[in-house]
Structure 1
Amino acid sequence: MNRIHHQPQAKPLISIIVPAYNVEAYIDKCLASLHSQTLQDIEVIVINDGSTDNTGAVCEAWKAKDNRLHIIHQENKGISETRNIGLAASKGHFIGFVDGDDWVEPQMFERLYNAVQNYSADIAMCGAILDEADKTIKIHDHAQKEQRLDACTALIKLLWDKYVRSYCWNKIFRASLFKDIFFPPGRIFEDYSTVYKLFAKANAVVHTGTNDYHYIQRPGSILSSLNPKKEVDFFLANYERYGFIASYKGFTRIQRKLLLIKTIKRMLRTNLKLKNLSGENEFLQEKAFMDAQLRDLFRKDYKAENYKNYKLLLNIKQYLARFGL
């Protein structure tokens, strides 16, 4: 393969941030898919997050083939801090993310960039294909055609977490949206804790109508296994979302109420998963915090006279569907 040389650009169109930790079996395909992008005015920032396998060497080999790649080697810091380091190093007008064990279709970033340009939008997204053992098992964020969503509609769909998901890796974001917004260090569900804040600042979101991102479901991954920290972090993310929804001025009263109910349902289910923690478990303090926050929310927002109505809303899915949620 010939080395690709590009004249250095002060601001490439898109900076693509690639966190990579012990992904030597996947990173070659990932970087090959970025090398082959039809949109060539990109920079690819790969952060080797303290890998103990051959990940770093594979990245350096790709850097020798393509001068758009920038490799950062660091001690292990975790996915959130790694993405934040990538953000600090990026120069692009737009920011994209690709995990080191995933890969993308050749036209993905060209389609995303054309979408934000054609619709004067701050965010563009595509569908994501969930692959396991070389088989497609699910498609997330699928749309039949290209479509533009106004800011409030897109935010509601994201917070409802059904029609638009909180992944950062099937989207591009105008770089200025990240001013004062970072991924929370040390947390799982870092996308879930962050992307809604970017949607809240955006003027519009466009879906390309194509499925271009391939997410690789690996056996034994954190998100596919039962893990107390995962549940605690998911609760915290929803607790923060609850506060955001309660104070956001762009929702109607009924939109806000339904989103709050949906969010507290997630918190209740998550709290229930940890009901059998033993006396020696390191997450007992976090569990006590979760219990206290739920009691406080019920005491403040769901007083006794409204409790029957609240229970009714929890169980009537048709009522929720009436409002497109």
Structure 2
Amino acid sequence: MNSIKVSIIIPVYNGEAFLQDCIKSLINQTLIACEFIFVNDGSTDNSIGIIQGYQKKDSRIIVISQINKGISEARNTGIAVAKGEYIGFLDNDDFVKDDMFEHLYETAQHDNLDIVVSKTILGRDGKYIIKDPVFDVGILYAQPFIQAEIIPNLLKTEDLFAVWNKIYKRSFVDLNNIHFPKNRVIEEDNMFNIQAFNKAEKIVFIDYAGYYYREVATSKSRLTIENDYFSKALEKYYFDYKKEYNLTLPDSEIEELKAVRFIQRVFYLLYKCAVTKTSLKIKYNYIKRMVFHAKVYEIAKKYNQEVIADKGIYERIVLKVITKKSSILLFFLILMIQIGYHPVISETIRKLNKLTKNN
């Protein structure tokens, strides 16, 4: 019988600033029968030295070093060597509660689940908030519900995109060749989850939050303009999910879900670009290219009502900017976001958006 219950895979790239918090939260896990697979993805700082220092104290720590290939291939490297009954993921700048993997493993083992999904504790604007579960907790969901509700959710929203608040049965992952797509720096989690949920037979959402997600402004993956995330979002929109992952949803439904998701991504990227620390000229030119892109306009016009159905004030304004092609309104919107951004104001806007959605 496999003595390792959970393999936790941690891709590491120049993570020395927060790495000790990450490692300490792992070695303090109440579930002892774990292995912690750190994949050093070409770090140029002291990340490897920090990991090796802890490895001398805890034999459960495994270190793999490779040239920089990106987070997807780093995670795939970890999956390939994992020996646990289940696998989980942790980002090198995040940390977990001491009982995180015990909670998830006990739930998974009880019903022989393919996937267990927990709640997340999000670090935002200097404080942590618990993100509510997407679907009802404590219910065993099978393929009919997964295909009717969960796959559409994955195609349309970010609600379930993360891999780090879940554990997956390793034999299930191996059998179905579930992996992270190469050469992607955003939403690689989402594409992994579409594959996993599309094949899963038994999953459960639990009323437990143990993963602390940190929003790190200096993280390489947060460099929105430098990484040209709009082009990557456009590439993802054109991706043929049905063919690549053998989805059963009708083509028309997949197209609508992808379209709504794409415009939602534009909403998000506009805001992230507007608050980034760069010149107004640079951010305005990038945002203008994105917002007035022909495909953005086409989709926004075609799926106007679907896009705005449950959105708040901010999204409605951006949609008007897109459909009216108003450069002046766009400029003042960017300026307002840049000048007015503050954690308190940001939280107030979220509350106003929530009120707008509920009315």
For normalisation by structure 1, the TM-score amounts to: 0.74
Give me the whole-angstrom Cα distance separating, in 2, the residues matched to 1:87 and 1:10. Answer: 16
> Could you tell me how far apart the structure 1 residues matched to 2:133 and 2:96 are?
15
Is 1:57 aligned to 2:49, yes or no? Answer: yes
- Give the alignment partner of residue 154 of structure 1, picking from 150, 168, 171: 150
Distance in 1 of aligned mates of 2:296 and 2:121: 36
**Alpha-carbon spacing, 1:169–1:58, altered in 2? closer, same or farther (3 Å):** same
Q: Distance in 2 between matches of 1:113 and 1:313?
A: 38
Taking structure 1 as reference, are residues 293 and 160 closer, same or farther at Cα in structure 2, changes over 3 Å only?
Answer: closer
Equivalent position to 2:261, from 245, 249, 266: 266
| Worse overlay, 258-267 or 33-42 | 258-267
Assess if the C-alpha contact under 8 Å between 2:117 and 2:206 holds in 1: yes
Q: Secondary structure at the match of 1:56?
A: helix
- CA offsets 1:274-323 (integer angstroms, 9 cap, x no match): 9x99xxx9xx9xx9xx968998xx8xxxxxxxx97x655555559xxxxx
Q: Choose 181-190 or 36-45, whichever is displaced more.
A: 181-190
Q: Secondary structure at the match of 1:57?
A: helix
Q: How far apart, in 2, do the equivalents of 1:219 and 1:271 lie?
A: 19
Alpha carbons of structure 1 residues 240 and 157: separation in structure 2 relative to 1, 3 Å: same
Paired residues of 1:132 and 1:216 also in contact (CA < 8 A) = yes
Match of residue 18, structure 1, among 6, 10, 33: 10
How many pairs were matched up?
Answer: 286
Return the offset for 1:11: 5.3
Shift of 1:107: 1.1
| Bigger helix share | 2
In structure 2, stretches of 5+ residues that fail to align are 271-280, 312-359
CA distance in 1, matches of 2:155, 2:214: 24
Q: Could you tell me how far 1:222 is from its partner in structure 2?
A: 4.7
User: What's 2:181 paired with?
Assistant: 184
* Distance in structure 1 (CA, Å) of the matches to 2:3 and 2:18: 29
Task: State the Cα deviation string for residues 110-159 of structure 1 (Å, max 9, x = none).
Answer: 11111112233200011111125762156264678533333314333333
Which letter does structure 2 place at the counterpart of 1:196?
Answer: I
Distance 2:101 2:211 in 1: 10
After superposition, what is the alpha-carbon deviation per residue over 1:236-267, rounded to whole angstroms, capped at 9, x for unaligned? 33433653699633x5x6xx755531311333
Q: Alignment partner of 1:147: what SS?
A: coil
**Residue 136 to residue 314, structure 1, CA distance change in 2 (3 Å):** closer
Partner of 1:32: 24
Amino acid corresponding to residue 59 of structure 1 in structure 2? I
SS in 2 for 1:193: helix
- Which residue number in structure 2 is paired with residue 236 of structure 1? 235
Alignment RMSD (CA, Å): 3.6
Do the aligned partners of residues 144 and 263 (structure 1) sit closer, same or farther apart at CA in structure 2, a change above 3 Å counting? closer
For 2:196, give the aligned amino acid. L
Shift of 1:98: 0.5
Measured in 1, the distance between the counterparts of 2:41 and 2:165 equals: 21
Q: What 5-or-longer segments of structure 1 have no aligned partner?
A: 1-8, 299-306, 319-325
- Could you say if the C-alpha distance between residues 102 and 241 of structure 1 is closer, same or farther in structure 2, counting changes exceeding 3 Å? farther
